[in-house]
Amino acid sequence: MRTTDLSELAAFDAVARHLSFRRASEERGVTASAISHAVSNLEARVGIRLLNRTTRSVALTDAGMALHSRLAPAFVDIDAALDGLNQFRDTPFGKVRINAPNSIAPFVFETIIVPLLANNPNLQVEIVATDRLVDIVAEGFDAGIRLGESLADGMTAVRINPRLRFAVVGSPDYVAAHGTPTTPADLATHTCIQNMYPNGARYCWSFQRGAEMHEHHPTGPLSLDDHELMVQAAVSGLGLAYVWEKRAEATIASGRLVRCLEDWIQPEDWLYLYYPTRKYISAAMRAFIDAMRI
């Protein structure tokens, strides 16, 4: 088999996994047109259409599904064989793509990345921060970082630092004008900034004191999907915000925000690094896992 044939097969494999020429091109580090050209050459060479393409979607034909079912395990074996060369290097070699929530990414990586890259000069780390819930397999990530309750089935999870908790905060002027809530039920009389996922869904404010639990669903006029913006809005006196505690630490320390309902804030949540459960993990990925795990 010619080298160009293997390149075409690799391009097809990437498109078949992502069902997207754009995502395949991002994974392969080439243009989408190069991926399309490689797949077209492969189809011309084998004389069978492998993909059905429209302007909006990509789907495998029956022949494409049959070919990919045989190719996928072979490419896993190839990747494992190439990764096995790491035993002859001083440090792991390769790229790791990580997805993490934008709202907590700075706190997760602030003490990790510098020593990780310093100790592994051949390692490349690509971090995409977004609060959108991401299918890491479909979007070509090696791993993701999430709270435990949002982990998908079929994933291996490793507990990592830091532990995080929320805080309810408001500006001194807002609290002076509207009073300080002493129980979560008091929030019904306050202006509360709504927490919004990037898809538009809202999430509630959760509280716990001993065995007593309470959920508050804000109905305020302002909805935001970014904790930094929530902090800024609270500082401006627009209402109370429910944000990651670390996001508000500096403004609390400076006196621009004050805490509310601190005795009702739930215990710190564990974060997890998660990745698909499979028999093969690259040396680059293992170095990242070792750096992140508690």
Question: Which residues on adjacent β-strands are paired with residue 166?
Answer: 244
Specify the 3-state DSSP secondary structure of 158: strand
Which residue range(s) make up the domain with 12?
A: 3-85
Residue 197's closest CA among 233, 146, 148, 237?
146
Specify the 3-state DSSP secondary structure of 91: coil
Would the pLDDT of 176 be above 80? yes
**Do residue 238 and residue 94 come from a single domain?**
no
**Do residue 180 and residue 129 come from a single domain?**
no
Q: How far apart, in whole angstroms, are the C-alpha atoms of residue 63 and residue 160? A: 43
Total domain count, the chain: 3
User: Residue 31 in contact with residue 3, Cβ under 8 Å?
Assistant: no
pLDDT tens column, 6-56: 889 999 999 999 899 988 888 888 899 999 999 999 999 899 999 999 878
**Do residue 152 and residue 277 come from a single domain?**
yes
Q: What is the pLDDT of residue 150?
A: 60
Neighbouring C-alpha atoms within 13 Å toward the C-beta of 76: 11
Residue 38's closest CA among 6, 80, 72?
6
**Do residue 45 and residue 81 come from a single domain?**
yes
| pLDDT band at residue 279 under the 50/70/90 scheme | low
Q: What is the pLDDT of residue 55?
A: 78
- Please, where are the H alpha helices in 20-154? 21-28, 32-46, 62-83, 105-109, 113-119
Residue 102's closest CA among 227, 262, 273, 243?
227
Does the N-terminal peptide bond of residue 101 adopt cis geometry, omega within 30 degrees of 0? no
Q: What is the pLDDT of residue 163?
A: 84
Expressed in angstroms, the distance from the first to the final Cα of the chain is: 46
**Do residue 258 and residue 116 come from a single domain?**
no
**Do residue 156 and residue 175 come from a single domain?**
no
Which residue, 85, 112, 143, sits at the end of a domain? 85
**Do residue 277 and residue 155 come from a single domain?**
yes
pLDDT tens column, 103-131: 889 889 988 999 999 999 989 999 999 88
CATH number of the domain that residue 75 is part of? 1.10.10.10
pLDDT tens column, 53-78: 987 889 999 999 999 999 988 888 88
**Do residue 243 and residue 284 come from a single domain?**
no
**Do residue 200 and residue 180 come from a single domain?**
yes
Which residue, 85, 108, 124, sits at the end of a domain? 85
**Do residue 172 and residue 205 come from a single domain?**
yes
CATH number of the domain that residue 233 is part of? 3.40.190.10
**Do residue 280 and residue 138 come from a single domain?**
yes
| pLDDT band at residue 155 under the 50/70/90 scheme | confident
Would the pLDDT of 101 be above 60? yes
Which residue, 85, 114, 130, sits at the end of a domain? 85
- Please, where are the H alpha helices in 84-215? 105-109, 113-119, 172-178
Does the N-terminal peptide bond of residue 162 adopt cis geometry, omega within 30 degrees of 0? yes
Question: Which residues on adjacent β-strands are paired with residue 41?
Answer: none
Would the pLDDT of 291 be above 70? yes
**Do residue 23 and residue 116 come from a single domain?**
no
Q: What is the pLDDT of residue 1?
A: 46
| pLDDT band at residue 87 under the 50/70/90 scheme | low
Q: What is the pLDDT of residue 36?
A: 92
Q: What is the pLDDT of residue 267?
A: 77
